Amino acid sequence: MEAVILAGGKGTRLQPFTTVLPKPLMPVGGRPILGIIIEQLRKAGVERIVLAVNHMAEIIMAVVGDGRKYGLRIEYSVEPFPLSTIGPLKLIRDLPEDFILMNGDILTDLDYTALYEHHRKSGCRLTSAVCRREVPIDFGVIQLDPASNRVIGFQEKPVYTFEVSMGVHVMDRRLLNDVPAGRAYGMDNLVHDMLERNEPICTFPFSGYWLDIGRPDDFERANVEIENLKL
């Protein structure tokens, strides 16, 4: 298996922490979150990782190196300007037929091997890991008749349930044939374009631990909860 890790974002939601360090190098349990991810991928059988970098790229390259200290091969693809989450893949040569694509700020105990094998058996060109999230609303929610603006429904502090993308995918490189070069193009663009073509997108439902450390409160939570995770 091979993987691409997206590590080029500015981490604006984590400021002021990210004025000094790029987000993928933020320490969780004394280790950079990117280092934790790389170790997980190695244990899953990944032999080559490409880091798509832009913001503070030199620092990431200096800290992570060529992968020898992790026991695999690490290469870099430097974006000339931010290309979002799919655009950077157009710059990477020699991608395998299927590869893992993931964000560089995720703390999870997802089984990457199971995700990869699920994708290979699915027949889909894109498989996204998804988990269920409940979002509580701290207000009474009113439903209105659009014609009269009269109340036709009311819920006191409802809880809504969503299936959300974990930022971890397995992708067929042939999808890149339809991706425009030289401009920003994100996963949202890819999904919308695939849906417009009526092309199936598969999911890998996951009920374990998952946390995006993009916000200060989630970063603090990750440093508390990592003690109970076997990563």
Tokens 């401009």 map to which residue?
183
Residue 19 has a pLDDT of 60
* Least confident window among 10-14, 34-38, 44-48, 95-99: 10-14
Mean pLDDT of 92-103: 95
Q: Check whether the bond before 24 is cis (ω within 30° of 0).
A: no
Question: Which residues on adjacent β-strands are paired with residue 107?
Answer: 211
Residue 21 has a pLDDT of 80
Mean pLDDT of 218-226: 89
Mean pLDDT of 54-74: 93
H/E/C letters for each residue in 182-213? CCCCCHHHHHHHHHHCCCCCEEEECCCCEEEC
pLDDT band for position 185 (cuts 50, 70, 90): very high
Q: What is 2-228's CATH topology?
A: Spore Coat Polysaccharide Biosynthesis Protein SpsA; Chain A (3.90.550)
pTM of the predicted structure, to 2 decimals:
0.90
Q: Are 161 and 136 in contact (CB under 8 A)?
A: no
Residue 219 has a pLDDT of 85
Residue 231 has a pLDDT of 74
Ordered by start, the domain boundaries in the chain are 2-228
Mean pLDDT of 122-135: 96
